[in-house]
Amino acid sequence: MSELAIPFQTLPRTGGNLTHITVPPLPDAERKGLTKKEIAADHPTWCPGCGDFSVLALYFKLIEKRKLHHEKVTTIAGIGCSSRFPYFVQAHGAHFIHGRALPFASGVSLSRPDLHVFVFGGDGDAFSIGGNHFSHTARKNIKMTYVVMDNWVYGLTKKQTSPTSPLGFKSKTDTWGAVDQPINPMKQAISAGATFVARTTHTNPNHVLQMMEAAMDHDGFSFVECLSECIEFYEGAFDASNPRKGGTFTTVPADHDVTDEIAAYKLSGEPFPGHFGIFYKATRPTKNANEAGVNRAAMSKTGGMKDWQILQKTFDRLK
Amino acid sequence: MSDATTQAPVSGGQQKISKIHETIIRIAGNSQDGIQAIGGFLARLAGRSEQDVMTFMTIPSTISGGPSIFQVRIGSGEVLSAGDEADMLLCFYQHSYEDHISSLKLGGIVLYDSDHVTPKPEWQDNYRHVGVSISSLTVEAIGGTGRDKGKNIYSLGLLAKIFDLNVEKLTMLVTERFTGKDPSVVQNALACFNAGYNHSLDNLLKTYQFYASEKLDRHQVVMNGNEALGYGLIAAGVRFGAGYPITPWSDIMELLRRELPKYGGMFIQCEDEIASISMALGGSYAGRVAVTGSSGPGISLKTEALGWAVMAEMPLVIVDVQRGGPSTGMPTSIEQSDLNIVCFGGHGDSPRVVIAPSSVEDCFHTAIEAVNVARKYSTPVIILTDQAIATRIEAFEEPNLEKLCQDISPDLAPVSDHKPYDLTANDGVTRHIAPGTRVASGKYPIVTGLEHDELGHPTGSSKLHTAMTAKRRNKLRKLALELPMPKTYGPNEGQILLVSWGSSQGPIREAVDRARSVGEAISGLHIKYINPLPNGLDEIFKGFRHIFVVELNDEGLYGYGQLAGVLRARYCDARIRGINKSDGLPWKVKEILERARTLASGK
Ligand SMILES: Cc1ncc(C[n+]2csc(CCOP(=O)(O)OP(=O)(O)O)c2C)c(N)n1
Ligand code: SF4
Ligand SMILES: [Mg+2]
């Protein structure tokens, strides 16, 4: 019985356990930061003028500025125009299925503490098909940065109502105007238990970069809603927030206490264009840390034993 | 027990001792009576006594109350199934007595709790009735608390007496089981056990003794199929997984959640099955084959992501512990009706691997094999097990863990260049590099569910779609070449070939043994690798007049079950027919033989 038809194949490996991955030393420890050219991959397939271009450009800038190396960054997305993101970045990436990028990214984050995990996606991906995953990833505080490029519409499938479409928006599925109360992403994130909640818009590059950087530095699940105009199907959606289009861009009031959940919730309820900046930031142990704690406790009892010896001990009790 | 041969007088007692090779005991009561515990002790004892053992149980799907049974078959030789008919029925209530008397063989023993059961006069002739006031004697044994909790242990004492079981080992097992609780619990349990053991059993004609078993080289371990599968995954090197609870899969996720941290791994409970497979795929992508699993309803939810795994060529192990379906179906019943969904479920052309373990021991080894196949062919692999194997307890020779445990941690060494979907690769198989791996060329791979070019970038090229579809198919054809050909059980020529898969292997073998012993030319063929099938099964089929695929699923619209459908499609052989049933119970040997004879005779 114990002869395996398909035996184990030896592959070179790094060893170590899952929460303490040892990465082989890099040949040139003195590596320079990457240039934009080195970070850019495929030319984006987005419509000219799409807001998503600026989010991508600022992600490049973030990698450049923070001197992140290709292999340290993992870009993950679901499905949608915005979710095409990983193809445009020269780094490890995964293009998963519609709405499920967060659990996929959680698998990466939890098993690879050595990586920066970034997730990009659209409003439908995040709050409709992926709504439940959003809540659970937030409450578990799994370490990653999630940027939702909110265009208030389904872009890829060509103009259907999205969960963030405002009442009255005329789409192909609501030709008379949207009738369902939209989701407020900021409220959603705060009430789900996200520990970093920020809002920005693609028309203010410096602000986008600032928010992404703060999100990346946050130890936990960091969520950034970035308004990103769909020039094709919802032109002018965010004009009221764009000074160049006669709108106003107002940052979060200087006296806003980012640790005050109620204040953050209130701020989220402001009528459009509302405020931009960090609404909420809390310190709470990440799931990554909690699981590492569980492992430390368990391994303190098995410490030093080989894996087969640990299993042998269990089998001895099954005799 | 019918094979009792010698009889010797017991010294000092009035009962005779009868030597037996095996016995089948059915214990019937309510779910709160701790019936599973009696069965568990007997199985453990058998394991420690180098006897073979197999059990079968039904648990009501409601949490408290409801009738419950546990059947245990213990023998000195190889035990292949939980047995058709019991030699002894131990029953606690009138309903247990009346509902299960039909499972007892003529002349069998009814051991009943006379506090709750009134024997029926009309059954007195056919069965030997032995009444013991189990409830009140249990109460008496533990000093009269007015509660009969412990009557299971009291009954264990009775059984120990009747079957001359090793009291020392049983006492140790009982002590081990209750150690850690209040010391009075151990004391009470032993008091119950001893009281039962010392009962005079006046109206029992004889007691029994097992023939000695052959000495084994290695110790036996005793566990159920879910445990064997869980530990097998750990031995295989799996250190990350995700799941959502559902009976009967939950045991495996609970085990992995509890055990993996000891090895530096983790198992995550997710919000649903879609999140579970997605998270497991994230874990696999991060560098080490991960596991997810479920039962019917959850498997349905996982199919979209399973398709991604096929497209992205991501290794993954998915466990499907089948239960009665469709929909919520029969959550605690046995059925083999998920073969189609695991082989074909999902949209698009999505070849994947399906392996079905045949026994508890096989669960352990199948888990390791599944991981190895997933790695070697960069593919999702489904382990298709079922409720029968999941919950039954078997004793098997302890595997050599030092030899079998594997390290599959990721290799993050830098590479010069990398194409995840290289069409010119020597073996035609994708090997992903995990994130964290530096690529000197500066060109990084994307893993994706969109049709893609060799670097993983999207393509609309029909040429590439054709080439990549072939790549995904051909690697599994390659796997088929590597799979061992199954061997017939019995001669490779004859009248009838009984084809089985999964938990039906044991009953089929027993059916073959029984048929051969009366001169019928019946053989068995067990298929473990379901998708792809090993090549050359048609060569085996040639040796037989009839090929009957015995499956615990419906005969379907066209008169044959799910594996039979696959075999007919593969071999265009109209002699392949189905013997199917969907009563939620394992096969009885008698049932299989009667159905096979009728089908062969053309009636
Ligand atoms: C399971 C599933 N259902 C539906 C679709 C079709 N689909 C693809 S993207 C999309 C919505 C995209 O909207 P959003 O997430 O807002 O992204 P955007 O294109 O606006 O950036 C839909 C419905 C799909 N790919 N998979
Ligand atoms: S359809 Fe809209 S969201 Fe999609 S690329 Fe074009 S402008 Fe951007
Ligand atoms: Mg959108």
- Beta-carbon contacts of B242 under 8 Å, excluding residues fewer than 6 positions away, are A103, A107, B267, B268, B269, B270, B275, B276, B277, B279, B280, B283, B290, B292
Give the minimum alpha-carbon distance from A9 to chain B in angstroms, rounded to a whole number: 7
Is the pLDDT reported for residue A79 higher than 80? yes
Confidence band (pLDDT; 50, 70, 90) for B7?
Answer: very low
Is the pLDDT reported for residue B12 higher than 50? no
Distance B497 CA to ligand 1 centre (A): 51
Is A1 or B383 the better-scoring residue by pLDDT? B383
Q: Residue B74: in which H helix or E strand, if any? A: strand B67-75
* Closest-CA residue to A130 (of A74, A88, A48, A189): A189
pLDDT per residue as tens digits for the range A278-307: 999 999 999 999 999 999 999 999 878 999
Point out the least confidently predicted range of A2-11, B209-218, B564-573.
A2-11
Is the pLDDT reported for residue B435 higher than 50? yes
Measured in degrees and rounded to the nearest 5, phi and psi for residue B299 equal -65, -40
Q: Which of A11, A89, A98, A318 to mutate to test the interface with B (most CBs of B within 10 A)?
A: A318
Select, from the ranges B25-39, B44-58, B284-298, the one with the highest average predicted confidence (pLDDT).
B284-298
Is the pLDDT reported for residue A21 higher than 60? no
Note the pLDDT of residue B544.
98
> Which residue's structure tokens are 């299971």?
B152
Q: Is the dihedral of CA B279, B282, B283, B284 positive or negative?
A: positive
Distance A150 CA to ligand 3 centre (A): 6
3-state secondary structure of B381: strand
Q: Atom 1 (ligand 2): residue with closest C-alpha? A: A155
Q: Atom 11 (ligand 1): residue with closest C-alpha? A: A154
Among residues of chain A, what percentage have pLDDT more than 90?
A: 87
Distance, in Å, from the CA atom of B27 to the CA atom of B15, rounded to the nearest integer, reads 23
- What's the average model confidence in pLDDT over A217-232? 98
Supply the DSSP symbol for B346: S
Is the pLDDT reported for residue B180 higher than 70? yes
pLDDT per residue as tens digits for the range B74-105: 887 778 787 889 999 999 999 999 999 999 99
Contacts of B268 in chain A (CB under 8 A): 106, 110, 291
B412 with A21: Cβ contact below 8 A: yes
Please give the full DSSP string across B121-173, using - where no structure is assigned.
GGGTTTSEEEEE-HHHHHHHHTT--S--TTHHHHHHHHHHHHTT--HHHHHHH
* Contact predicate A262/A190, CB 8 Å: no
Q: Is A111 near chain B, with CB under 8 Å?
A: yes
Note the pLDDT of residue B8.
40
Distance, in Å, from the CA atom of B597 to the CA atom of B603, rounded to the nearest integer, reads 9
Is the pLDDT reported for residue B64 higher than 70? no
Q: Is A27 near chain B, with CB under 8 Å?
A: yes
A17 with B263: Cβ contact below 8 A: yes
Q: Is A74 near chain B, with CB under 8 Å?
A: yes
Helix axes B360-377, B225-236, angle to 10 degrees: 30
Is the pLDDT reported for residue B267 higher than 90? yes
pTM: 0.93
Contacts of B264 in chain A (CB under 8 A): 16-20, 295, 299
Pairing of strands B67-75, B52-58: antiparallel
| Amino acid code (one letter) for B146 | G
Note the pLDDT of residue B44.
85
State the ipTM, two decimals. 0.95
**Nearest beta carbon to residue A6 from set B265, B286, B369:** B369
Mean of pLDDT over chain A: 93
B372 with A9: Cβ contact below 8 A: yes
**Class of residue B230 by CB neighbours under 10 A (exposed 0-12, middle 13-18, buried 19+):** buried
Q: What angle do CA B43, B112, B158 make, to 5 degrees?
A: 45
Please count the CA atoms within 13 angstroms of the CA of B337 that sit on its side-chain side. Answer: 24
Note the pLDDT of residue B3.
45
pLDDT per residue as tens digits for the range B291-305: 999 999 999 999 999
Pairing of strands B266-269, B240-243: parallel
Domain residue limits, chain A: 32-284
Confidence band (pLDDT; 50, 70, 90) for B223?
Answer: very high
SS3 content of chain B, % helix, strand, coil (to 5): 40, 25, 40
**Nearest beta carbon to residue B266 from set A18, A91, A318:** A18
A308 with B445: Cβ contact below 8 A: no
- What's the average model confidence in pLDDT over B450-473? 96
Q: What angle do CA B523, B529, B535 make, to 5 degrees?
A: 75
CB count within 10 Å of CB B17 equals 18
**Class of residue A244 by CB neighbours under 10 A (exposed 0-12, middle 13-18, buried 19+):** exposed
CB count within 10 Å of CB B600 equals 16
Pairing of strands A160-161, A153-154: antiparallel
Confidence band (pLDDT; 50, 70, 90) for A1?
Answer: very low
Note the pLDDT of residue B307.
98
Measured in degrees and rounded to the nearest 5, phi and psi for residue A202 equal -65, -15
* Closest-CA residue to B455 (of B425, B419, B431): B419
Contacts of B374 in chain A (CB under 8 A): none
Q: Is A21 near chain B, with CB under 8 Å?
A: yes
Among residues of chain B, what percentage have pLDDT more than 90?
A: 71
Is the pLDDT reported for residue B210 higher than 90? no
Give the minimum alpha-carbon distance from A196 to chain B in angstroms, rounded to a whole number: 21
Confidence band (pLDDT; 50, 70, 90) for B60?
Answer: low
Distance B443 CA to ligand 3 centre (A): 29
Distance A231 CA to ligand 2 centre (A): 6
Is the pLDDT reported for residue B54 higher than 80? no
| Amino acid code (one letter) for B174 | V
Q: Which atom of ligand 2 is nearest to the CA of A233?
A: 2
Token pair for residue A274? 């509302």
Distance, in Å, from the CA atom of A218 to the CA atom of A2, rounded to the nearest integer, reads 49
Confidence band (pLDDT; 50, 70, 90) for B591?
Answer: very high
Q: Is A95 near chain B, with CB under 8 Å?
A: yes
B436 with A115: Cβ contact below 8 A: yes
- What's the average model confidence in pLDDT over A44-65? 97
**Class of residue B75 by CB neighbours under 10 A (exposed 0-12, middle 13-18, buried 19+):** buried
Give the minimum alpha-carbon distance from A94 to chain B in angstroms, rounded to a whole number: 5
* Closest-CA residue to B511 (of B563, B548, B562): B548
**Class of residue A237 by CB neighbours under 10 A (exposed 0-12, middle 13-18, buried 19+):** buried
Confidence band (pLDDT; 50, 70, 90) for A13?
Answer: very low
Is A12 or A315 the better-scoring residue by pLDDT? A315
Point out the least confidently predicted range of A164-178, B169-183, B352-366, B565-579.
B169-183
Point out the least confidently predicted range of A195-204, B47-56, B112-121, B437-446.
B47-56
Note the pLDDT of residue B45.
86
Q: Which homologous superfamily is A32-284 in?
A: Thiamin diphosphate (ThDP)-binding fold, Pyr/PP domains (3.40.50.970)
Q: Atom 5 (ligand 2): residue with closest C-alpha? A: A46
Point out the least confidently predicted range of A33-42, A163-172, B512-521.
A33-42
Q: Which residues pair with A250 in a beta bridge?
A: A275
Q: Which domains does chain B have, with CATH numbers?
A: 7-218 (3.40.920.10), 231-404 (3.40.50.970), 412-482 (no CATH), 488-601 (3.40.50.920)
| Amino acid code (one letter) for A223 | F
Is B467 or B416 the better-scoring residue by pLDDT? B467
Give the 3-state DSSP-derived string for B278-328, with helices as H, strands as E and coil as C: HHHHHHHHCCCCCEEEECHHHHHHHHHHHHHHHHHCCCEEEEEEECECCCC
